Amino acid sequence: MAIKKLAEMVSVIYVLFILFLGLVSVRAGEGMWIPLEVDSLKLKEMQQNGFLLGPGEIYSQFHPSMKDAVVIFGNGCTGVLISPDGLVLTNHHCGYSRIQSHSTLENNYLSEGFWASSRDEELPNPGLTVTFLVRMEDITRKVLDGVTDSLPEQERDRLIVENMDIVQREVQEEHYRTQIKSFFFGRSYYLFVYEIFNDVRLVGAPPENIGRFGGDTDNWVWPRHSGDFCLFRIYAGNNNGPADYSPDNVPYKPGKYFSISTRGVSEGDFTMVMGYPGRTDEYLTSQGLSLVAEKSLPAKIEMRQLRLSAMNKEMSTSPEARLRFASKYLSLSNSWKKWIGVVKGVKRSGALDEKKRKEEAFYRWAEGQAEERDLYTSLPGEFSRAYRQYEPAFLAHDLGNELLNSLESTALAGAFLAQYYPLADSSRAYLRPVIDKLRKTGLNYFRSGALKIDEEILPELLRIYSDNTEPRFHPEVYESVSKEYDQDYRAFADFLFGKSFFSDSVRFKKLMKKSPQAIHKVLWTDPLPSLYRGFSNTLFYNVLLKYDSLDMELNRLYRLYMSGLMAMDTSRTFYPDANFTMRVAFGRVEGYKAADAVYYDCFSTLNGMIEKEDQNIPDYRVSPRIRELYEKQDYGPWSDKEKMPVCFIASNHTSGGNSGSPVLNASGELVGINFDRNWEGTVSDYVYDPLICRNISLDIRYVLFIIDKVAQAPWLLDELTLVH
């Protein structure tokens, strides 16, 4: 009896210890908080950490607040309003594709920079949008009306979709777009109302040797010396509202824009980030994290490395090729290097063991519950069964899509296949616009040099997919490779590219002269469309249906798991995973210990850029103008104790999508622009380690220095509200 009581006591102490560890980890720095709830959940804690503003300053539906100066820039970044004339500041890498689109070899704004000297010189960007959050609302009760725990998951989802449709019809407002997002695996739901502006013009961008200094070498690494910013302007039509591009449009007048502090920040200062983090998976179990970090990401890293190496080889052939692939290469390499950081971070931090300890503590707690004991204690077995079935489908889905997205030749073939019904059944006159568009797409593909890249990487992509997925998820092409080519993927690729109409410009032009019926016939016999069709059919019919069903079951288990975690730890305020909705994070300016005997300070300066300078390495070529200003120590009013600050790090919890987010001081003034994380801290998408996870920000004083001394654009400084 005494032994039993002692065992129970030890169990209780163990659970309390794990809970204590959890409470310690949820400190200033961790968390991505919903703006609507910041005042009630986090304002007091923020003020205890130094925040000087009060309720309604961050989010308000009834008067201008900080949320009105933070925007979605394009489809995956954040931007910030910094002037009464609609001037938007975001990252250079967020505007990179737009800068590239305006560049030619004669006027290469990527390498030379661009600064409009008047409003008339600002460059339009068709398709680029800036999106404002008008308001948000907790609609959980409405969405879950009639939903019970006993409902099967598919029936639950059907009822939720019906309820969401009703809510959206009730709140639909002219000129606004509504969106409903779920949080905590469907435990709660919020409505977001957005206003979208689509006349957005390029105002200014530094050259690459400033905006991307350090390039791929320094990406995801601290210390950084990148001047990662660019400027755009929102234009509006009548009544300051959204309008299609027109020369008659005028600069947008925002309800709120940020003042800019020129005082800088010091170690230990409060900082806050507002923006749109893309996705995190903080509540994954150890099984889920293992699947991502030990199986999926390593295979995708290998695939992406092949593509980047081949692309880099093609880019080195000419300045035209480099300009052509610059934006795509930047995007691909960014994800690739982040994935490597995540894999290393999971190992380094012991994240899997930590998750297992917390899961063990949860199940020990569940054993002591009266009413819901069976519900929670059954979770380990249910998770294990679900993941055993889910893992093969997940890997096939994830790696199959990576393979198809890596090949531009299959994308071209897929574009033709998507039109096969009209090609077969419609008249040539009706099809002329379709055929002309496909012809143009094809000719652009052959001119781009992408074919050489595809020819080089296809054999290894096929091998990697085969090595990491189950045979039941292999398209028929693998049977051909086995029987006809004795598992020689290179020989198969040589045959495919040697015969296909989509791998030779002469054959392609001949194809375009054929009748719609003849083109239709070719699409069903040509090896490249066959490869695309085989993978697409496998991924849809064999993989996706199973993947979606198992994903739904896992979502049910995680929802139950979250309910248990919240019941176990009632003293903790849980934050929802990021899902590209506006969030608030707060922390402090602080360095970190990266490894044994390695400690990083929280600031970088222009001195560090000069120390890295190497004219033989493209990533480290210092701008001549920067070098000149450095030698003269001509920093204007923007220096700090005779040094020019460039970047700083802090413990704000950020993720992809936070690129371009404003970094604010305790008074709500702009002190920096978030653009990256430290490599050791990329694991924060899955486990936030307060000792090592840091966001990297561009010091706003370096932005002002570049505009003033490098661009020599005082008219832009005149727009800003500077606080000295």
How does residue 310 score in pLDDT terms, banded at 50, 70 and 90?
very high
User: What is the mean pLDDT of the segment spanning 130-137?
Assistant: 97
Query: What is the C-alpha to C-alpha distance for residues 128 and 99, in angstroms, rounded to an integer?
Result: 12
Is-contact 416 523, C-beta < 8 A?
A: yes
Q: Residue 716: its pLDDT value, please?
A: 97
User: How many Cβ atoms sit within 10 Å of the Cβ of residue 717?
Assistant: 13
Strands 270-275 and 70-73: unpaired
pLDDT digits (tens, 9 = 90+) for 224-272: 999 999 999 999 998 999 999 999 999 999 999 999 999 999 999 999 9
3-state secondary structure at position 279: coil
The residue-averaged pLDDT of 383-390 equals 96
Residue 18: pLDDT band (50, 70, 90) is very low
The SS3 of residue 584 is: strand
Name the packing angle between helices 450-468 and 408-417 (round to 10°): 90
Identify residue 645 by its one-letter amino acid code. Answer: P
Residues with catalytic annotation?
A: 93, 228, 659
User: What CA–CA distances, in Å, run from 14 to 10, 21, 157, 373?
Assistant: 6, 11, 38, 18
Cα–Cα distances in angstroms (integers) from residue 478 to residues 71, 355, 406, 482, 534, in the given order:
46, 38, 18, 6, 10
The three-point CA angle 387-389-393 to 5° equals 100
- Report pLDDT digits (tens) over 563-595: 999 999 999 999 999 999 999 999 999 999 998
**What is the model's pLDDT at position 372?**
87
DSSP label of 520:
H
- Identify the pLDDT of residue 129: 98
Confidence of residue 27 (pLDDT cuts 50, 70, 90): low
Burial readout 469-498 (b: 16 or more C-beta within 10 A, e: otherwise): beeebbbebbebbeeeeeeebeebbeebbe
Determine the number of helices (DSSP H) and then strands (DSSP E) in the chain: 29, 22
Residues 54-82, mean pLDDT to the nearest whole number: 97
Q: What pLDDT does 1 receive? A: 42
Q: What is the mean pLDDT of the chain?
A: 92
Please report the pLDDT score of residue 521 as a whole number.
Answer: 85
Q: Give me the residue label for tokens 């606080």.
A: 723
State which amino acid sits at residue 574.
Answer: F
Q: Is the pLDDT of residue 630 over 60?
A: yes
Could you list the beta-strand ranges (E) of 386-492: none
Q: pLDDT of 405-457, one tens digit each?
A: 999 999 898 888 887 655 555 555 556 777 788 889 889 899 989 999 999 99
Strands 592-595 and 130-138: unpaired
CB atoms within 10 A of CB 148: 9
Q: Does residue 5 carry a pLDDT above 90?
A: no
pLDDT at 403 over 90: yes
Residue 35 has pLDDT above 90, yes or no: yes
Rounded to 10 deg, the angle between the 450-468 and 379-406 helix axes is 160
Is 20's pLDDT higher than 90?
no
Longest dimension (CA), the chain: 91
Neighbours of 105 (CB within 10 A): 10
Q: What is the pLDDT of residue 536?
A: 93
Identify the pLDDT of residue 171: 87
What is the pLDDT at residue 438? Answer: 86
Q: Is the pLDDT of residue 22 over 60?
A: no
CA dihedral over 422, 428, 429, 435, signed as positive or negative: positive
Mean pLDDT over residues 485-501, rounded? 95
The confidence score (pLDDT) of residue 424 equals: 55
Phi and psi angles of residue 331, each rounded to the nearest 5 degrees, phi first: -65, -45
Q: Give the pLDDT confidence score for residue 431 in this predicted structure.
A: 65
- Cα 371 to Cα 106, 319, 367, 376, distances in angstroms: 74, 69, 10, 10
Q: What are the tens digits of pLDDT across the range 633-671?
A: 999 999 998 899 999 999 999 999 999 999 999 999 999
Handedness of CA 599, 343, 208, 317 (dihedral sign): positive
Read off the pLDDT of each residue in 488-492 and give the average, rounded to a whole number.
Answer: 96
pLDDT tens-digit series, residues 322-336: 999 999 999 999 999
Determine how β-strand 77-81 pairs with β-strand 645-650. Answer: unpaired
Q: Supply angle C-alpha 151, 157, 160, rounded to 5.
A: 100
Please report which residue ranges of 253-378 form alpha helices under DSSP H.
286-290, 297-315, 319-349, 351-367, 373-377
pLDDT at res. 318: 93
Sorting pLDDT into bands at 50, 70 and 90, what band is 317?
very high
In single-letter form, the type of residue at position 73 comes to: F
Phi/psi at 190 (nearest 5 deg)? -130, 145
